[in-house]
Structure 1
Amino acid sequence: MTQSSIKQILDMLNTLEEQLLSLPDDMLLSIDPRENESLERGMAFIMAFNNNMQQFTQSASKLSEQIKQHFGINPEEEELEQETDNRSKRERIVKELDKSQAYSLSDDFTYKRPYGYVLPNKAVKGIKTWKSLYISILNHLSTNNPTAFDQLPAHERFISKRGNPLFSLSGKELRVAEKLRPNFFVEVNLSANM
């Protein structure tokens, strides 16, 4: 199997995971709240789907990590282009990003794929999934202010109403943990509507 086909498999796995995560949101729109049978069918589907999705997400993450480690391939990192120090290169990336369409955080990202982002003193392109965008931005924030970043697991703002944390020092209390750096994990099983 070629490196190109391995990269394609990893990309498809990430894309499938993201598309499956958005399915319950669409399913909720098809439920008629005035019809009990519709509510029951929808609820049964979503509960079973959530259980299966959790197993799939964990398995997909393990498979992806195993493939990356065995073949020494990470398609996201290989195709990622970022610049922080060289101002002219950073501005070139910003111009390339602006060629498509620039969005702000207040825009609706439904059915949109990420491509890159611009932060003060950093421009990145070549991102393919929302998870990769999330991890890339967290890595940037972690590097810029590690002391403040280390406080996130204890901060109540990053614990959901159901008591699920977004950050952890061990990863054990997260549904699907991704290691950001030694002894620091982030939840990656997130809804697009958070």
Structure 2
Amino acid sequence: MEKLIICGLGVRVPEETTLESLQALADCRVVYCDLDDKKARAWLGGYCRALKIPKSAKEILAEAKKGGVGLAVWGNPQSSSRLAREVELGAQKAGLAYRVYGAISPIGSVFARSVSFLGGDYGYQGIQSYDLETLLSDPKAATNELPLVLYAERGSAKEWKTALARLAPAYPAGHAAALFGPSGQVDAALTALKPGECSVILIPPATPLAGRKIK
């Protein structure tokens, strides 16, 4: 029997949250909810016996030793939540029985919401994805030759502005991109986008594959 349940709630909560995750969290004695969105927390609280905001992975792991503990995070727990990964690694080290319930990731969310993606207008069979924190620490990590998915649950306007300003020189002036946020989709020039929390940006490659010369 698992003492710890780790669930992703998807990028758009509750639209992308699965029934499987909700049922698993509803069975827990206490659920730690790592979401900044107050409305999303209140919605989840309606399905849980007790809801807490986690202070650290250490706190969650200590409580998990008693059993019946859940952790709910934004996006996919194994690709877009550092806390979930830290808790999972800690559970492995401590020998705690746990289970991870997957969820739609930022890439999957973009796939679902964009009209044309890989193989369509772009004609590519590859993709790159980074969280905002990673790209801020290493601006050269991304390439402009493949579609780029950039995401963050907790991204301030200043952090997003800095990241987009660093990316802009690698793309043509007025390069179009798409922002998927809580209020829906916005199509605009890369430097004109104004993402905030729980945002995912899709940036097409600088040069369409059809316009490239094959070496």
Which structure has more helix as a fraction of its residues?
1
Higher RCO by CA contacts (8 Å cutoff, separation 6 or greater)? 2
When normalised by structure 1's length, the TM-score is: 0.29
Instruction: Considering fraction of residues, name the structure with more strand.
Output: 2
TM-score, structure 2 length as denominator? 0.27
